[in-house]
Structure formats: C-alpha cells, structure tokens
Amino acid sequence: MSGRWSRWIHRWASPPYFYRASRPWGRVFAVVSFVAIAIGLYGGLWLAPPDFQQGNGFRIIYVHVPSAWMSLFIFVFLAVCGLIGLIWRIKLAHAMASAAAPIGAAFTAITLVTGSLWAKPMWGTFWVWDARLTSELILFFLYLGVIALSRSFENQQTGDRAAAILAIVGAVDVPIIHYSVDWWQTLHQGAIFRGNPFDGHLHTTVAPSMLWPLLVMWLGFMCYFGALVLWRARSEILLRQLDTGWAREAVGAP
C-alpha cells in the first residue's frame, strides 16, 4: 500500500508528468467551478428568502463566507505544500505553494472588501474592528509576508524554502491569532458596536434554503482554486525548468 502511494507521489512530483497530466484536471475543476458558482449564485440571489433583519443585504455572505473559508484553507495548503517540499524535497510542492499564495491573498482581500461592504449598512461605516475582519486583515498581512519573502531571494530555491518555513510557522500562528483577536473582541465588546452578524448566520438557525447555496458556492470556489492553482503551477514549473529539454519542447522553443 505505502509502496503504491509513494510511487504515485513520485510520479506526480515529476514536473513533465505533472505538466501533462494536470491539464485535464484543471479543465474538470474549471467546468465544475463554473457550474457550481452559477447554481450557487442563483440559489443565493434569487431562491433564498430575504433575511428578516437585514433584508437583501445579507446576500453578500454568498461571496464573503466562502472567500473567508478559502483564505484559511489556502494558508493551510501553503503550509502543507511547504512541509512536503522541505521534508521530501519535492520541488513541485514549492511551485504549487508559489502558485497558490497570491490566490489566497486575493481571497483574503475579497473577504475584507465584501466584509466592509456589508459593514456599511450594518454599522454605518465601512470598517469596524470586528473580530473576523481583524483576523482576516492579519491573515492578509501574513500572505503578503510569505509572498514578499519568497520573491526577495535571487535564488528561487532559497526563496521557496524560506517562504515554506514562514508559511508553516504562520499556519501554527493563525489559530492563535484568531483566538487572541476573539478574546480581544470580547474584552472590548460594547465599546463600538454589538453583535456579530456573521456568526448570527452561521452558528444559530440557518434556513436550509439559505444554507445550500452557501455550500454550493464554497464547492465552486474550491474548484475555482483547484483550476487556478493547477494552471498557475503549470506555468510556474515551465518557467522554472526552461533550461530542461521537456520544458523547451512544451513551449515550442528550439
């Protein structure tokens, strides 16, 4: 069993094989993500009933909440890729991480923007130091740090490995940051505003007609990430391996 697994891993870790074999997967992900996001948007924007408190304003959660989930998931993805790359010295893992980091940062940015758009009707201002938004802001800075570190080395490999270490430490820190910001929030509760509409929708009573579009949107976002990360990783390894025969062949260079 383990032999089969390690053979499978090593086959996929080989850049030429990955380059060829990942193309159909990327297409599958792209199609599924398109369909799922279309269904999810239809379900969320038309079928789900308006919220009894927030009216139609709540519908932004169909972008906001899956983006927030993705922003956390992709950071964990970075750390796992980093671990694989550092321990088994699989370069493909670093290429994947390097492809995924900007996508994660983008999801974090979307979370922040949609969150502040939601804050405007809720609290009358575009920014409040709400626990979730604050954690996302720090997560955004963590992403920027990982990206900046990986790009500041002349030697690609050094940058990859340094960024991998930072991503692993960051992934350990992310739950601590969340916890600390939550704690900080409870201390200052009432100072600025009360209640958290995000939690109201996710943890108490959610009507099934409101919930299923959210889950479908999340599936769509996951597949969108899958398609995008494969596509970016494919160009990344082509760039990195341009001095090898297979890569020159793939881009049609002499």
Partner 1 sequence: MNGLLGAQLRMIYRARGDYLAPVIFYVLVASLFPLALGPSPRLLSLIAPGVIWIDATLASVVAFAGLFRDDYDDGSLEQMLLSPRPLELIVLVRVFAGWVSLSLPLVLLAPLLALWFSFPPPILPVLLVSLVLTTGCLTLLGALGSALTVGLRHSLVLLPVLLLPLATPVLIFGAHAVLLAERGLDPRTPLYVLAALFFLALALIPKATAAALRVALEV
Partner 2 sequence: MCGQNMLDIEGLVLRRGRRLLARRIDLRVDRGAFAYIVGPNGSGKSTLLRVLAGFGRPEEGVIRWSGRTIGEWGGAYRGEVAFLGHLEGIKPMLTPEENLAYRRLLVGPTGWRVPTPSPFFDASALPDLPCQRLSAGQRRRVSLACLEHSAAPLWLLDEPLTSLDHDGVAALGGLLARHLMAGGTAVVASHQPLPPTLVPATVLELGTKR
Residues at the interface with partner 2 (CB under 8 A):
89, 154-157, 240, 243
Distance CA 115, CA 152 (A): 31
Minimum CB distance to partner 1, residue 209 (Å): 38
Residue 60 near partner 1 by CB under 8 A: no
Nearer to partner 1, 72 or 227 (CB): 72
Residues 74-93 that bind partner 1 (CB under 8 A): 86
Residue 161 near partner 1 by CB under 8 A: yes
| Region from 65-73, 94-102, 173-181, 206-214 binding partner 1, contact rule CB under 8 A | 173-181
Question: Which parts of 14-155 fold into alpha helices (H)?
Answer: 15-42, 61-87, 91-123, 131-151
In the shown chain, the binding pattern of residues 182 to 211 toward partner 1, with x for contact by CB under 8 A and - for none, equals -xx--x------------------------
Distance CA 121, CA 58 (A): 10
Residue listed under structure tokens 């769509």: 220
Residue 113 near partner 1 by CB under 8 A: no
* Contacted by 173, from partner 1, partner 2, none: CB < 5 to 8 Å by type: partner 1
Query: What torsion do the CA atoms of 33, 36, 37, 42 make, to the nearest 10 degrees?
Result: 160
* Contacted by 180, from partner 2, partner 1, none: CB < 5 to 8 Å by type: partner 1
Residues 131-150 that bind partner 1 (CB under 8 A): 138-139, 141-142, 144-145, 148-149
Distance CA 50, CA 67 (A): 21
Cβ within 8 Å of residue 228, ≥6 positions away: 103
The tokens for 198 are: 């995000």
Distance CA 219, CA 94 (A): 25
In 185-248, DSSP assigns E strands to none
| Region from 70-78, 103-111, 162-170, 208-216 binding partner 1, contact rule CB under 8 A | 162-170
Residue 176 near partner 1 by CB under 8 A: yes
Distance CA 141, CA 153 (A): 19
Nearer to partner 2, 98 or 185 (CB): 98
Contact 44, 220 (CB under 8 A): no
Judged by the rule CB under 8 A, the positions of this chain that interact with partner 1 are 86, 138-139, 141-142, 144-145, 148-149, 152-153, 157-158, 161-162, 165-166, 168-170, 172-173, 176-177, 179-181, 183-184, 187
